[in-house]
Every structure is written in C-alpha cells, then in structure tokens.
Amino acid sequence: MKELLLTEDNKIRPRNRSITAIEKSGIMKNTVFFNEMLDYENVIDRKRYRSDWVSRSIETLGERDIIFLDPDNGLEVKSVPPTRKNGVKYVTYEEAARYYERAKVALVIYNHRDRSPEDKYIERFLRFYKLAETKTCFLHRLTFGKASVRDYIILLKTPDYYIDIYDTVNAFAESSNNYFSVGRLPMPLVKRWALD
C-alpha cells in the first residue's frame, strides 16, 4: 500500500511521486522511458561507460517530440567533473546537445538552483547559444520556487511552437497557486526577429 499525503486543500494523494511511479501508472500514453540508472559503482573506465550509457538512452528514446532529462541536480557544474563519483548527478552540455538533436520539438532539462547570483546562474543556460547543436534554440524557463528552487529549462527547436509552448507554460504557472513561475532568459535579438 502506498503512503498517502494530505495536501493543503485536504485532498489525498500518493506520496510516491517518482518517475518510476509515473511510468508504472500508465497515465502517460505514448511515452518512452529510459530508467537505467547511471551508476559508477564497480566501473573502471567511467568516461567510456558514461558515453555508452548516453548512447543506449538515446537509442531507446529514439526521435520524440519532447525529450525530458531528469538528472538529480541538473546541468554540469565546474566543481564536479562528469567522471567524478557525483558526476552521475549532472548532465553535461554536450550530452544535452545530443538529446536536443533527437527531439523534434523540444528538450526539457530539470535543474536544481545553485547559490550563485541570479545573473551568474542564468549564464549557465545561455551557454547553449554557444554550442553548434543548440545555438539556434529558443529558451524558456519554468521555475518551481517553493522550498528548494528548481528550474525546468526548455530548449525549443523552432519558433513554430514558441508561442504555443510559451502560452502553455504561462497558463500552467498561473494555475499552480504560485508554486511555479516563468523565469526570464535573455534571447539574442536575431531570435526575437524570428518571432515577428
């Protein structure tokens, strides 16, 4: 029996809110999951193992409209190289770019907010504009602001869906009882012209 949690509005919901629970529930039809953990235990060549793991996940996912990455902490940080023990908690920019290439519409990346100043924090996402694979993307940011702040970074492949996704993300944030907000991310001027 699942543990139950009483919410503020007196509704009961299951406490188990993991990706595995979502997959097993079957509520997300036409969704492909890759749930093999990236784990360095008993691994000698971590770089090769990690590369193989990413390749297997990309092969399993195939080409999808939207690909969602759920690393424990989010995008890589300088202080934790990808092959270090805690490197499994992050996705590198180069790995994210590989997933982006397979997405037809968008790539969404979960990212835990760090303690850096806001402008330095945002610079991390603007790095996507410097990579060959993602330099033409359109960035959105959906922020969960309660307790530990997290962001969902949305990299859109084409302006065709920009307004639809922008409207959807905003509507979701407005209906969330202030749990979510739409964070600002600077956009190069050339991308703004594409929306006119």
Predicted pLDDT at 97: 97
- 13 in any annotated domain: no
Give the burial string for 37-71 (b: 16+ CB within 10 Å, else e).
ebeeeeeeebeebbeebbeebbeebeebeebbbeb
Predicted pLDDT at 6: 41
pLDDT-derived band at 54, boundaries 50, 70, 90: very high
- 6 in any annotated domain: no
82 or 25: which leads in pLDDT: 82
pTM for this predicted structure: 0.84
Give the list of residues 6+ apart from residue 77 with CB closer than 8 angstroms, or none. Answer: 90, 114
Predicted pLDDT at 3: 42
Q: Where are the beta strands (DSSP E) in 71-129?
A: 74-75, 90-91, 103-112
Would you say residue 190 has pLDDT above 60? no
Distance CA 144, CA 37 (A): 25
Residue 54 exposure: Cα atoms within 13 Å on the Cβ side: 21
- 160 in any annotated domain: yes
pLDDT digit string, tens, across residues 139-171: 889 999 877 889 999 999 888 888 888 889 889
Distance CA 141, CA 108 (A): 9
Average pLDDT, the chain: 85
pLDDT digit string, tens, across residues 93-127: 999 999 999 999 999 999 998 888 888 888 899 99
For the chain, report the end-to-end CA distance as a whole number of angstroms. Answer: 53
- 27 in any annotated domain: no
**pLDDT, average across residues 28-54:** 92
**pLDDT, average across residues 56-79:** 94
Name beta bridge partners: 108: 68, 154
Predicted pLDDT at 28: 80
Both tokens assigned to 126: 């603007």
Which residues constitute the domain of residue 153?
34-194
- 14 in any annotated domain: no
Predicted pLDDT at 188: 66
147 or 137: which leads in pLDDT: 137
pLDDT-derived band at 12, boundaries 50, 70, 90: very low
If one counts the domains in the chain, the total is 1
